[in-house]
Amino acid sequence: MRHLLKLMLDGAPPSPREALLHFEDKLTDDALDYASLDEKVAAYEFLLAFINKNSIPLLEYYDIDAQQLSGWMNAINYGEEKYKLYVLMSQIRANKNNIMSGSIESDVARALEEYDGLIKAHRPVGEFGYARLTGEEKEELRGHLDHIRGIIDRSDIPSQKKNALFVRIANLQKEIDKEGTKTDEFFAFMGDLSMCVGQMAKNAQPATDELKAILRIVMRSRAANEQAVLPSNSETAMLPFVRDEEESE
């Protein structure tokens, strides 16, 4: 069992309403700070299922101000899943008395409908320009970027250009770590690397192969996020052409 779920369930009382407040009490700021994204998403999904199964109403009350709520909603729309849990916890905290008394004249279906409406109101159409990377995809991308960095380091590219490319790679590493990865940086890196292909000699083809692998992962993830269908040759259409040494002689 994941750590955050185990923390929530340990010592939970049999009453569903009391149990919900027990879960809220266990999910402290410290517990959330140390939890992984996957743990937070699992906790959020568990809480929603628990609330739905036991018909515990929440309505639209929050214990945060409108500005902070709006900020969380925007973060959710850009792929930061952890804020779904924070918003739901805010609702639970704000409605403690009503949860125990059962005095709210609504049901969980209405509460969830209003919550979904808030998200949709802040959501950019199709979350355009973002990839939703899995943990495995992030690891693959980090590996490809490390390989490219090594290729650049061993190449004859001037130091000034090398340093500029290293900065690009560092920025990409940071972008990969985000819960919603903006794809613009990858295309900018592709453009910069393309300008250096002629100076990379034998290293050009390995670098291009690594770049193909990166774009394949990023575009596949972005297409899934935007529910788009990529042309079969889209992964190579924008890549620089690398001429064989034999052809250039």
Distance CA 7, CA 1 (A): 10
Q: Is 204 helix (H, G, I), strand (E, B) or coil?
A: helix
93 and 136, same structural domain? no
176 and 109, same structural domain? no
Q: Give me the domain span that covers residue 176.
A: 130-248
Query: Which band of pLDDT confidence, cut at 50, 70 and 90, is reported for residue 245?
Result: very low
190 and 99, same structural domain? no
23 and 98, same structural domain? yes
Maximum average pLDDT range among 59-63, 116-120, 181-185: 181-185
Maximum average pLDDT range among 98-112, 135-149, 170-184: 135-149
* Nearest alpha carbon to residue 74 among 112, 134, 124, 132: 124
On whether the CB atoms of residues 73 and 37 are closer than 8 A, the answer is: no
145 and 111, same structural domain? no
Q: Which helix (H) or strand (E) holds 40?
A: helix 37-53
46 and 73, same structural domain? yes
User: Residue 182's beta-bridge partner residues?
Assistant: 130
Tokens of 57: 């109403």
The per-residue pLDDT for range 34-63, each reduced to its tens digit, is 888 888 888 888 888 888 777 777 655 677
Domain end residue (candidates: 85, 108, 123): 123
Query: Which band of pLDDT confidence, cut at 50, 70 and 90, is reported for residue 111?
Result: very low
Count how many Cα atoms sit within 13 Å of the Cα of residue 105 in the half-sphere of its side chain: 0
Maximum average pLDDT range among 3-12, 129-138, 145-154: 145-154
174 and 141, same structural domain? yes
Domain count, the chain: 2
What percent of the chain clears pLDDT 90, i.e. is strictly above it?
8
51 and 146, same structural domain? no
CA 13 to chain centre: 34
pTM over 0.75: no
155 and 45, same structural domain? no
On whether the CB atoms of residues 213 and 144 are closer than 8 A, the answer is: yes
166 and 94, same structural domain? no
Task: State yes or no: pLDDT of 124 exceeds 60.
Answer: no
**Sign of CA pseudo-dihedral 20, 26, 32, 36:** negative
Domain end residue (candidates: 123, 142, 169): 123
Distance CA 52, CA 112 (A): 9
Tokens of 123: 């959501």
242 and 134, same structural domain? yes
- For every residue of 145-178, DSSP letters joined together read HHHHHHHHHHS---HHHHHHHHHHHHHHHHHHHS
CA 135 to chain centre: 10
Among the ranges given (31-40, 67-76, 133-142, 227-236), the one the predictor scored with the smallest mean pLDDT? 227-236
117 and 16, same structural domain? yes
* Residue 49 CA: distances (Å) to CA of 53, 61, 108, 213: 6, 19, 10, 38
Task: Determine the number of helices (DSSP H) and then strands (DSSP E) in the chain.
Answer: 13, 2
Domain end residue (candidates: 89, 123, 157): 123
